[in-house]
Amino acid sequence: MSGPKAFRIVTRAEIIAICRRSLARLDAAIETWASAGRRNGTIEQQDIEKVTARRDELRRLLDADRFVELQKQVAGEIAFLQADSERRVERAAEIVARSKRDLRRSKTAAEALLHRLHVLKVDIPADIRSELSGSTASSERLEAAMAKALMLLPSQEAPDATTDRQRQLAAKLSAGERRETLQEWLFRQPREMEDPALARVDALLGELRGLGIDSGPFSAHVAALEAEPPARRSLIADSLLLDLATAVKDGRARTRLVNQLRERRAELSEMKSPEAASLLAEIDSALAIPSASDEQELVKRADFLIEEEFKAMAAEERRRAVLEGLASLGYEVSEGMATAWVQNGKIVLRKAANPGYGVELSGGSKSDLLQVRAVGIGSSAEPRDANRDRDMETIWCGEFDRLKGLVAKAGGNVSIESARPVGQFPLKIVSDPGASHEAVVVERSHRSLPY
């Protein structure tokens, strides 16, 4: 099949650009992973160092021209970081929810202990009473206060009808006996079933914390819900749960947008155009000041610019590779031909050893599909040697194989989409390109050709 051909070419420069984009996305994924881990306290410096070392190993694959391996491993690394970050966020949310449950239980136990001391008419120091009744104390402070308060209890609690004299005597007799520990006392306390509404609130508050969202605006509502009797909580919790769920949903959407902006920022950093620099500055502003601009619109604009610049670069490299390859095969290539190819949509290159023949190149401006065919150069009014034309088409087939080899040697590849047999169509005749690179087509036959 050595007649007209449609083919695709991927150059080494295009492959390297694809790999650099992949590495840029990996850098963005690492930034997102590390940022979430630091915020939630679920990551250590050694974790970051391991991931950074792994990233450096992948970069060395680019230097070693192991392009396919690099792209596969980068995709796997990004997927791992995303999954690991989600696991760490979930773990942080669980820790926050557990902390709130523990605090609530500690408050209940503190209230029970205060009540018991009151029943026994035990004098409670002001600082211990303050800690046990404080609404803002942490679980640790409450447990420390309860441990002190337990020391105030008689080792063997006497019936409520005993007199002060009897309690004093019991205290003397029990001097030196082992006292009950806080853990033992807590274990003996009746355990209430966890309130489903509060459990759901705890889970949502934990997720907000994992997303890096301040839950302060909900504090008053949560405190009011906790103060309600258990029988009423489920009736009045719906509004709070709805607000929390909305905040979590918005937080997730915002996190996704931030991650997308970081990824686009990383890719734009690989580009040198003024348009890329301008959009990069807008993204930096959006990341620094949340909701200061339409982040979703920025993502769309970035996607469009990245794709357009990549396509333009790839198309330029394809044209360059083809022209350089044909020049090395003895075709006349002069300065400005690449530009003429873009402007006119096609170009004709003369074969120096056979001035009456050449090749016509077209396509590649709006898609990555290129077209090439052998052509005769001259006038349609002049007689043609059909056998000679056929021989030149056959020779071109061998030269095209050599062109494929040159591209492969440079690190690219050529794949043929379609090819026509020699002689299926009469050889296309074009006027002498001369000083101009525009091919003026003069059909020798009125038969419709495929290109």
pLDDT tops 50 at residue 441: no
Q: What pLDDT does residue 109 have?
A: 80
In sequence order, the 6+-apart residues with CB closer than 8 A to the CB of 207 are 89, 93, 248, 251
Most confident of 125-134, 168-177, 354-363: 354-363
Tens of pLDDT, residue by residue over 357-382, are 999 999 877 778 999 999 998 887 77
Taking alpha carbons only, the member of 366, 361, 305, 369 closest to residue 331 is 361
Q: What is the 3-state secondary structure (H, E, C) of the chain?
A: CCCCEEEEEECHHHHHHHHHHHHHHHHHHHHHHHHHHHHHCCCCHHHHHHHHHHHHHHHHHHHCCCHHHHHHHHHHHHHHHHHHHHHHHHHHHHHHHHHHHHHHHHHHHHHHHHHHHHHCCCCCCHHHHHHHHCCCCCHHHHHHHHHHHHCCCCCCCCCCCCCHHHHHHHHHHCCCCCCCCHHHHHHHCCCCCCCHHHHHHHHHHHHHHHCCCCCHHHHHHHHHHHHCCHHHHHHHHHHHHHHHHHHHHHHHHHHHHHHHHHHHHHHHCCCCCHHHHHHHHHHHHHHHCCCCCCHHHHHHHHHHHHHHHHHHHHHHHHHHHHHHHHHHCCECCCCCHHHHHHHHCEEEEEECCEEEEEEEEEECCCCCEEEEEEEEECCCCCCCCHHHHHHHHHHHHHHHHHHHHHHHHCCCEEEEEEECCCCCCCCEEECCCCCCCCCCEECCCCCCCCC
pLDDT tops 90 at residue 129: no
Q: What pLDDT does residue 309 have?
A: 92
Enumerate the domain spans of the chain.
Answer: 13-158+189-314, 329-442
Tens of pLDDT, residue by residue over 405-414, are 999 998 899 9
Q: Regarding predicted confidence, which is higher, 163 or 369?
A: 369
403, 325 contact by CB (below 8 A): yes
Structure tokens, 38: 């630091």
Nearest-angstrom CA–CA distance, 433 and 416: 27
313, 17 contact by CB (below 8 A): yes
CA atoms within 13 A on the CB side of 324: 12
Measure Cα distances from 97 to 197, 209, 266 in Å.
13, 10, 35
Q: What percent of the chain has pLDDT above 70?
A: 84
Structure tokens, 189: 């306390």
Q: Regarding predicted confidence, which is higher, 399 or 111?
A: 399
The pTM of the full predicted model, rounded to 2 decimals, is 0.75
pLDDT tops 50 at residue 443: no
CA dihedral 296, 300, 303, 309 (to 10 degrees): -130
**78 band by pLDDT with thresholds 50, 70 and 90:** very high
Tens of pLDDT, residue by residue over 263-279, are 999 999 989 899 999 99
The arithmetic mean of pLDDT across residues 35-49, rounded, is 92
Q: What pLDDT does residue 4 have?
A: 82
Q: How far is CA 181 from the centre of its chain?
A: 51
Give the orientation angle of helix 295-328 with respect to helix 274-288, to 10 degrees.
150
Nearest-angstrom CA–CA distance, 37 and 88: 7
Strands 428-430 and 369-377 come out as: parallel
**Lowest-confidence range among 283-297, 369-383, 435-449?**
435-449
